[in-house]
Structures are given as C-alpha cells and as structure tokens.
Structure 1
Amino acid sequence: MTAHTAVNWAAFTEAEPELAKITEERFGAFTHHVLATLRKDGSPRTTGLEVRFLNGELWLGMMPDSLKALDLRRDPRFALQANPGPDTAMGGGDIRIAGRAVEVEDPEVKRAYREEVEPPEPFHLFRTELTGVVRTYVEDDTYLVAQVWKPGEPVRTLKRT
C-alpha cells in the first residue's frame, strides 16, 4: 500500500483491535480534544473539538462555518490529539490520529448522527479516513514507548530510555 492509503475507523479496528480499543478509551476519558488543521496560508491551526466513534466511523462535528470546518473543506488533512487531562491522568498514554476529513452532506447520514449525538443545529459533519495512529507511553518508569500504525502495516513498537 502507498503512503497515501487511508482507511475508516472500522478498518483500523479490524486491523489493530487492541490499539483501537485503547484509542477509543483514551478519547472517551475526556469530552474535548485538540484538532490541528491547515489555514489558508498553510500554517497550523489548533482548536478544541468533540469526537464520536459511531457505526464504524470516527466523526468530527463542528459549528457552521467554523474556521476549522472551513480549513477542512479547503484541505482535508488533520491531526487529532486526545486530551491528556491533568498531569497525572495520562492513563493509556498519549494518542494522536492523522488523516483526512471528508464532509458528509447526505441528509440520511446526518439524520442518523443527529439522533445519536444531538448536536446543536446546524452543523458540519466530517467522517475520517485515517493515515496513521500513534500511541506513546512510559513503561516501567524507564522506557518511552511509541506504537506507530499506518494502513496496510502492522503496529511498530519503538522503545527508548
């Protein structure tokens, strides 16, 4: 597979169920997370965001015409970092997801999402295509461990002291 391959949440879950479970738990620990998008000039923009894992997809919902939604319409690449919480709450490690956001216009899909999540109306809805997931954590108070996943590849685990 090429570096440009991207998969939805269900495909990631099927390929790497353990890392997917840890990722969902980490994102489920807090409501708000950090989304990075690209501004018109190519510089990064970081903003807070709620995410949902529903029906085999990782969804990003946004207020109408928010800058992050406009960024994603222009350039769909994003990075998403799970909220680390208080200094002592890094249970599960630090999780980052990279990919592309695809805006959903289908009224039936938006209706189904609305029934599950009850977002304020109106809203932008994006489903994600993942290009990578990275989990970092400390093991035995000695090693910094990074688990790196890309579509079509097994998880690589890197350790350093």
Structure 2
Amino acid sequence: MTTWQDFEQQAPDLAPRIRARFEAHRHHVLATLARDGSPRVSGIEVDFIGADLFLGSMAGAVKALDLRHDPRCALHSNPGPDTSMTGGDAKLALSAVELTDPVDIAGYLAGLPEPPPGPFHAFRLELRRATLTEVADDRLVISTWQPGEQVKVVERQ
C-alpha cells in the first residue's frame, strides 16, 4: 500500500505540485473499468485526509460498483478554465480500497468539510503512479513517479 504521505516522502519536490493541481479545483475526472472491461469516466471530488487521498460517492453509484469489481482507476486533475496549463496537468494511477471498518469510516467522515448528504461509499486511494505534465518555455516536461523509484523527467520539444 502506498499512501499519499509515502509519495510526499519519496518525491518531496513533485508531490506538493501534484497535490496543488487537485486542490486548485474541486471537480476532477475519474476513470474506472466497467464490468465488460470498457473504460468509464465520471466526475469526482477527492479529499486529502491525514496520510491518504480519498474519494466518496453516493451509495450504488456506478463508479463505486466499478471500483468494487476492479479497484484499478485513474484520476485526472481539472485543468481549470483557461488553456495556460499553469501548474501543469496531473494524473494518478491508483487502486481504490473501500472503507468498511467503522473506525476507518469515522476517520474519513471526521476529515471531511461536511458529511455526505446520504448513504455513501468511501475509498482510500493507493498510489501506483503519479505524473505531472508542464509546459516550460517551448518544452513539454513530463515528471513521473512510481513507488520505490526516483522521479523520472522527460522533456520534449
């Protein structure tokens, strides 16, 4: 299991920049795998609570059912209202672990700005890969991290 805190410790220059992209806007895009293996994208909100990154959804939501069936998912940050790419474009490859223990659920709820309005699913997100793509002068700079590895940077003209 790789927590957000593990990411911050292993990639102290990259992790805060990616977190800033997810905190810059409330709504992002979650990609899950449907039962037939096809991709499905959904709008989602995420929360940084303690050492972890979480997402929640309404009870019975298709994205939650997808994650129960196959926990692999991807999260793409909202690029914002303009085309400047200020701060970059962040993407995370993740595994979602549903919270079922009452103590874990209580901790999740305690970390939210307000409780969900009704029944919900909650998932802790374990990191598998983190990527930040930025425009620097006339170059595209792609920084990628995977657990246990150094950040790799590729520049393209």
Compute the TM-score of the two structures, normalised by the length of structure 2: 0.95
For residue 18 of structure 1, give the secondary structure of its aligned residue in structure 2.
coil
Find the counterpart in structure 2 of residue 7 from structure 1. 2
1:113 to 108, 111, 114: 108
Shift of 1:89: 5.2
Shift of 1:17: 1.6
2:98 to 103, 108, 120: 103
C-alpha separation in 2, matches of 1:109 and 1:18: 29
1:135 to 120, 132, 141: 132
How many pairs are equivalent?
155
Compute the TM-score of the two structures, normalised by the length of structure 1: 0.92
Find the counterpart in structure 1 of residue 149 from structure 2. 153
For residue 69 of structure 1, give the secondary structure of its aligned residue in structure 2.
helix
Render the CA deviation track for 1:81-135: whole Å, top value 9, x for unaligned: 0001112353210000001100010112211221221222211110011110010
1:125 to 122, 127, 138: 122
Matched, 1:26 2:26: no
Find the counterpart in structure 2 of residue 69 from structure 1. 64
> Percentage identity across aligned positions?
49
For residue 119 of structure 1, give the secondary structure of its aligned residue in structure 2.
coil
C-alpha separation in 1, matches of 2:30 and 2:84: 20
- Gaps spanning 5+ residues in structure 1: where? 1-5
C-alpha separation in 2, matches of 1:119 and 1:18: 33
C-alpha separation in 2, matches of 1:37 and 1:119: 22
Find the counterpart in structure 2 of residue 3 from structure 1. none
Find the counterpart in structure 2 of residue 17 from structure 1. 12
Find the counterpart in structure 2 of residue 58 from structure 1. 53
For residue 25 of structure 2, give the secondary structure of its aligned residue in structure 1.
coil
- Gaps spanning 5+ residues in structure 2: where? none
